[in-house]
């Protein structure tokens, strides 16, 4: 399925802004993860030539918890490429998702990547963006909102950090997989709150609202703004968004890589 959503080609003379979310590296078997990781690495190398800003809108990892001297080892290839992009002057911002909330200082100090715990607002080109991972935006997420406060509490994270890394990361992996099964059973209907949330931001003056979390690739134009759900990388057709300073598109990763080998 072709996912280009505007009527003309991207202006090649603009520096580009890219957005993706919900890759969930670490979920499923190691073999399946390597295939998804390889696809992500190809994508990151492909955008290198024209990317001004890359925004990762949460859940790049299916789990993330860092210790003072330890980070999850299976993610080193992705971490290395992200560092290379920063060294080439590409700005990268990272919004915490509901799975990768255990960030402390590693991304900021070692990769020079800004990590945000909350939603962000940006002006790119001639458009105002509201960007959120989306967890907690569902009308039925009351229980999760309480859990989120507990999991992100500094004292709770300090206690968790007392565990041996093998135990701590192992527990994070298991709990993340349970969370994924719970989320997969949810019914993300039109009344889930996401579009209502977007409409509120449009009334506040934002032109484009970008979310992740639902794993439901969506491009919907309203009279006063554009709503985009970035989808996920767990299915056969992972998606991302690109902005050329004027127009926003929701696009297929695989089609993009075919056009940018």
Give the pair of three-digit tokens for residue 162: 């007392």
The pLDDT score that the predictor gives to residue 162 is 55
Segments in the chain forming alpha helices (H): 30-47, 76-87, 106, 142-151, 154-161, 165-184, 194-203, 253-259
- pLDDT higher than 70, residue 156: no
At 236, list the tokens: 């056969």
Residues in the chain: 261
Q: Are 221 and 209 in contact (CB under 8 A)?
A: no
Q: Are strands 208-211 and 114-116 parallel, antiparallel or unpaired?
A: unpaired
Q: Do residues 212 and 202 touch, judged by C-beta distance below 8 A?
A: no
**Domain residue ranges in the chain:** 16-259
Q: Which of 27-36, 148-157, 188-197 has the lowest mean pLDDT?
A: 148-157
Range from 14-23, 43-52, 122-131, 166-175 carrying the lowest mean pLDDT: 166-175
Q: pLDDT class for 18, splitting at 50, 70, 90?
A: very high
If you compute the radius of gyration of the chain from its CA atoms, what whole number of angstroms results? 18
177-203 pLDDT, tens digit each: 555 554 555 554 555 789 999 999 999
Give 100's pLDDT tier (boundaries 50, 70, 90). confident
Structure tokens at 8: 């003309």
116-123 — which CB contacts under 8 Å span 24+ positions? 117/152, 119/95, 120/55, 120/93, 120/95, 121/206, 122/55
3-state secondary structure of 160: helix
Question: Is the pLDDT confidence value at 4 over 50?
Answer: no
The answer on pLDDT for 109 being more than 50 is: yes
110-127 as b/e: b if 16+ CB within 10 A:
ebebebbeebeebebbeb
Domain 16-259 has CATH 3.40.50.2000: no
Work out the widest C-alpha separation in the chain, in whole angstroms.
54
53/46 Cα distance (integer angstroms): 14
pLDDT of residue 144 exceeding 90, the answer is no
pTM: 0.81
The per-residue pLDDT for range 198-244, each reduced to its tens digit, is 999 999 999 999 999 889 999 999 999 999 999 999 999 999 999 99
More confident residue, 77 or 169: 77
CA–CA gap between residue 47 and residue 66 (Å, rounded): 28
Which residues is 116 bridged to in the sheet?
95
């Amino acid at each position: 399925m072709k996912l280009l959503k505007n009527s003309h080609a991207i202006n090649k003379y603009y520096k580009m802004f890219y957005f993706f979310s919900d890759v969930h590296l670490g979920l499923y078997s190691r073999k399946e993860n390597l295939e998804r990781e390889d696809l992500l690495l190809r994508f990151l190398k492909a955008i290198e030539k024209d990317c001004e800003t890359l925004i990762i809108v949460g859940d790049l990892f299916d789990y993330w918890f860092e210790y003072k001297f330890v980070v999850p080892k299976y993610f080193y290839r992705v971490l290395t490429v992200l560092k290379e992009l920063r060294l080439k002057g590409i700005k990268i911002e990272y919004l915490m998702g509901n799975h990768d909330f255990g960030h402390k200082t590693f991304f900021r100090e070692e990769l020079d990547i800004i990590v945000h715990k909350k939603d962000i607002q940006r002006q790119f080109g001639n458009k105002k963006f509201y960007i959120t991972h989306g967890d907690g935006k569902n009308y039925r997420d009351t229980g999760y909102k309480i859990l989120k406060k507990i999991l992100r509490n500094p004292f709770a994270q300090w206690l968790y950090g007392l565990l041996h890394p093998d135990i701590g990361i192992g527990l994070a992996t298991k709990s993340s997989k349970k969370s994924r099964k719970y989320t997969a059973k949810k019914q993300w209907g039109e009344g889930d709150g996401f579009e209502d949330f977007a409409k509120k931001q449009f009334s506040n003056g934002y032109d484009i609202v970008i979310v992740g979390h639902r794993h439901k690739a969506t491009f919907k134009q309203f009279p006063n703004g554009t709503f985009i759900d970035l989808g996920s990388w767990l299915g056969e057709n992972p998606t991302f968004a690109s902005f050329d300073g004027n127009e926003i598109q929701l696009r297929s990763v695989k089609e993009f890589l075919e056009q940018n080998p």
